[in-house]
Amino acid sequence: MKCRVLETLRVKTKDGIREVLPGQIIDLSSEKAMPFVGKRKITPVADPEKRLAVKIRSELLAEDIWLAFGDFLADEGLVIYYPDEIEYLKTLPPEEIKRIHRIKRAFRGSRLAS
């Protein structure tokens, strides 16, 4: 997964520790990238050949949702969530998450304010 660096990072490579500066593009496996995406240290770079979203099942909401990592237009009528929204929702009680989900379902394409 190609990602743009948002904050200076120190990364371990086969050649030792390297500093990566904001604006640089790095290539990481999804597994290694996700913790940094969640902390808003990197962001995936859109690749027109690849879909930057995954459909997941939310047990709390009892329905499928999209988890998107960049601009994404859902084609299946599912609500879209972004990593920064998920991080925020993790701080809320379940009933508040359900209330927000109902609003996002009514206003397709809406995003939570940061």
Give the C-alpha distances (Å, rounded to integers) separating 106 from 16, 20, 56, 79, 103.
50, 41, 19, 9, 5
Residue range 1-12: mean pLDDT, rounded: 88
For residue range 45-97, what is the model confidence (pLDDT) as tens digits? 866 566 678 888 999 999 999 888 777 766 678 899 988 899 899 999 999 99
Question: Which residue ranges make up each domain of the chain?
Answer: 2-44, 53-106
Give the C-alpha distances (Å, rounded to integers) separating 5 from 33, 37, 44, 61, 106.
11, 10, 9, 32, 33
pLDDT over 70 percentage in the chain: 89
Q: Is the model more confident about 102 or about 50?
A: 102
pLDDT reported for residue 93: 97
Nearest to 82 by CA among 68, 95, 96, 98: 68
Coil, strand or helix at 14: coil
The Cβ of residue 74 has, within 10 Å, a number of other Cβ atoms equal to: 15
pTM: 0.56
pLDDT reported for residue 34: 80
pLDDT reported for residue 74: 65
Q: What is the average pLDDT value for the chain, to the nearest integer?
A: 86
